[in-house]
Amino acid sequence: MPASPSTARAINDRLALRLLQREGPLTAGQLKKLTGLSRPSVADLVERLAEAGLIGVVGESGEQRRGPNARLYGIVADRAHLAGLDVRTEGVAVVVADLLGAVLAEASVPIADETDTVPAVERAVALVEHTAKEAGVERLHTVGVGAPGLIDPATGELRDSTGLPEWHRRLAAALQERFAARVVVENETNLAALAEQREGAARDRDTFVLLWLGHGIGAAVVLDGVLRRGASGGTGEIGFLPVPGTGGMPSATGCEGGFHSLAGAAAIVELAREYGVSASVSAHEPYAAALVREAVARVSGAARGATATPVSPSAPAPALTPGSTPGPRSAPVAPAPAAASVSASAQGVGGRVDSSAGSEGYPRSSPRPFGGGGDQGASGFLDVLADRVALGVASVIAVLDPGCVVLSGEVGRAGGETLAARVRERLGRMTPLPTEVRAGTLGGGAVLRGALLMARDGAQDELFAPPER
């Protein structure tokens, strides 16, 4: 049955708006060419959208640069404003943007573990309020929130999870009450997958798995272009995957003994200690990511040295390049320790310095790690880390056959192609299913970017919808 005139107009309007979102400002002639509509239909469409305040003239195009045919039409960016939040166990990061997703302001704030629920919620809400004010925004239309834990598929709310602060669950309601805005909550790793698919390493993939390697472990599954959440919202809780080599089994209340114990931040720090790898401490990324970044720099430097003039062992190590935005389950602006560089053993888990460490950074009760540091130790560290990552990824491939795995998060980005190539080589021996392994390009900032993209999608869906009659 053919569409009614009103339905056809709504479809054409939405098509034009999506084209303007994707292509940027267009003339009426370009809209005619891209939509396949007649000139009168395009003229009516432009008039309707302009009257609704959704598009406006943003410039002129063509040689003459005058007259109706030269007018460039674009989406009115300040028609609505958005916020994206990356909520972690120890803090919040926020970004405020316009309807097109252009960032206007961003900020972050730490929230200590011992902070009570009400003050923690108020601090997070105040951060959003302050950032919006800095951006000159009076009203937020939609707020996207990325948080660790399970999202109830029926309600869209963050479920009560053991080990996560209570203020996480209270935050969405507080944001809605304070700003009278639409608030959408999604699992952090799922948002990282959204960002990597739209703007990162998976732009050409409709089916892939994203493995988040940061302070904790998580996975997101995208099949045929659709994010799969599972019956209870728990798809991708790969930290609970039972694997050999952990000396235990995960439980219903904790992932210790699962894949998390092999490839989480604490396990990476301990592995680095065993191989004598150390790194400069940064407040902008988990220490595990700094260790991986340093190991990659050493291995890459050794490879370059094989074909170039050798560098003196006493030369300073290359400077680290930390990610710009912290990722999930890590403190956003935690102060760095006073020492500029400490070994992995002295640093310990989560950035705490172990007072029992000796002057060389190794615990007095432990022998010097295998390899004695240097390039050999860095290479061995990356090899074993790749073994561990491949073990978890192989299990996912056997069940889903995604064809592509993106190593994301701060550790995934720090490892880059060096770690991805090692994992790829191991998977080629472990599974008959051909699988690309790609390094994520957005690092810890993927969650925040994904939250903003989710907010933009929600706002546009509402604003671009045809008016109810």
Helix (H, G, I), strand (E, B), or coil: what is residue 316? coil
Q: Are 240 and 307 in contact (CB under 8 A)?
A: no
Q: Are 320 and 277 in contact (CB under 8 A)?
A: no
With CA atoms as reference, report the closest residue to 255 among 213, 216, 219, 220.
216
Tell me the sheet residues that pair with 379: none
Q: Examine the pLDDT at 342 and tell me if it is beyond 80.
A: no
Which ranges in 116-259 belong to alpha helices (H)? 117-134, 166-179, 188-199
Q: Examine the pLDDT at 154 and tell me if it is beyond 90.
A: no
Q: What percent of the chain has pLDDT over 90?
A: 64
Q: In what order do the strands lie in the sheet with 404-408?
A: 226-228, 217-223, 208-213, 404-408, 436-439
C-alpha to C-alpha distance for 102 and 240, rounded to whole angstroms: 37
Q: Examine the pLDDT at 400 and tell me if it is beyond 90.
A: yes
Q: Are 370 and 380 in contact (CB under 8 A)?
A: yes
Q: What is the pLDDT of residue 305?
A: 62
Phi, psi of 83 (to 5 degrees): -135, 145
pLDDT digits (tens, 9 = 90+) for 89-100: 889 999 999 999
With CA atoms as reference, report the closest residue to 211 among 428, 435, 431, 432.
435
Average the pLDDT over each of 12-16, 148-152, 347-351 and give the range with the smallest value: 347-351
Q: What is the pLDDT of residue 131?
A: 97
With CA atoms as reference, report the closest residue to 447 among 171, 9, 148, 206.
148
Region of 295 please: left (phi>0), alpha (psi -120 to 50) or beta: alpha
Helix (H, G, I), strand (E, B), or coil: what is residue 20? helix
Q: What is the pLDDT of residue 290?
A: 95
Helix (H, G, I), strand (E, B), or coil: what is residue 56? strand
Q: Examine the pLDDT at 309 and tell me if it is beyond 80.
A: no
Chain-centroid distance of CA 220 in Å reads 11
Q: 336 or 417: which carries more pLDDT confidence?
A: 417
**Span 57-84, average pLDDT:** 83
Q: What is the pLDDT of residue 306?
A: 59
With CA atoms as reference, report the closest residue to 210 among 432, 415, 404.
404
Average the pLDDT over each of 59-63, 71-75, 112-116, 225-229 and give the range with the smallest value: 59-63
Residue 104 per-residue DSSP state: E
Helix (H) or strand (E) holding 372, with range, is: none
Going by C-beta distance under 8 Å and a sequence separation of 6 or more, which residues neighbour residue 32?
A: 38, 39, 42
With CA atoms as reference, report the closest residue to 349 among 256, 442, 427.
256
How do 142-147 and 81-88 pair as beta strands?
A: parallel
pLDDT digits (tens, 9 = 90+) for 176-220: 999 999 999 999 999 999 999 999 999 999 999 999 998 889 999
Q: Quick one: pLDDT band at residue 14, thresholds 50, 70, 90?
A: confident
Q: Examine the pLDDT at 264 and tell me if it is beyond 60.
A: yes
C-alpha to C-alpha distance for 34 and 21, rounded to whole angstroms: 13
Q: Are 299 and 382 in contact (CB under 8 A)?
A: yes
Q: What is the pLDDT of residue 420?
A: 98
Q: Quick one: pLDDT band at residue 224, thresholds 50, 70, 90?
A: very high
Q: What is the pLDDT of residue 340?
A: 34
Q: What is the CB-side half-sphere exposure of residue 255 using CA atoms within 13 A?
A: 23
| Polymer length in residues for the chain | 469
